Amino acid sequence: MREYKTRRGEYLEDRVEDMKAFVETYFGPVTDTHEYSGSELYVVGQPDNPVFDRVTAGTVEYSGKKNRLALDIEERPAEEIIEEGHFDAAEEAISLKNNFLEEATGRDAKARRDSMKRDVEDDESPDTAV
């Protein structure tokens, strides 16, 4: 499960008023819910795009700091997709994921990558406090 931050000065709940409807718009009907870090996420058990096997998405709420978007996409094996001839669906899957994340967070793919790199660098830096 990956968590994504919104742009500086923006809040997820302002960008996405109805998370369930938002998830359904991009991936298909919600079939279940899943508890993650004390928050309830939406599960799409049979996504509209045949590349996706299962999608879990929603808002992870934190007290004292901004909420984040959580997203976990399980994809079918590439061999199956190619065998079934879903070439267009594979291209569409990438666009769906990127558009979903950009609309919810206000960050494009490059900004999300840069943010994740900074988070990893912060985690790896040794403590300098004496």
The pLDDT score that the predictor gives to residue 120 is 73
Q: Where are the domains of the chain?
A: 2-122
Amino acid at 84: E
CA atoms within 13 A of residue 9's CA, in its CB half-sphere? 0
Q: What is the pLDDT of residues 37-88, one digit of tens each?
A: 999 999 999 999 999 999 999 999 998 889 999 999 999 998 898 888 888 8
User: Would you state the structure tokens that stand for residue 108, as one six-digit string?
Assistant: 């494009």
pLDDT band at 128 (very low <50, low <70, confident <90, very high): low
Other CB atoms within a 10 A radius of the CB of residue 86 amount to 17
Q: What is the pLDDT of residues 79-116, one digit of tens each?
A: 898 888 888 898 899 999 999 999 999 988 887 778 77
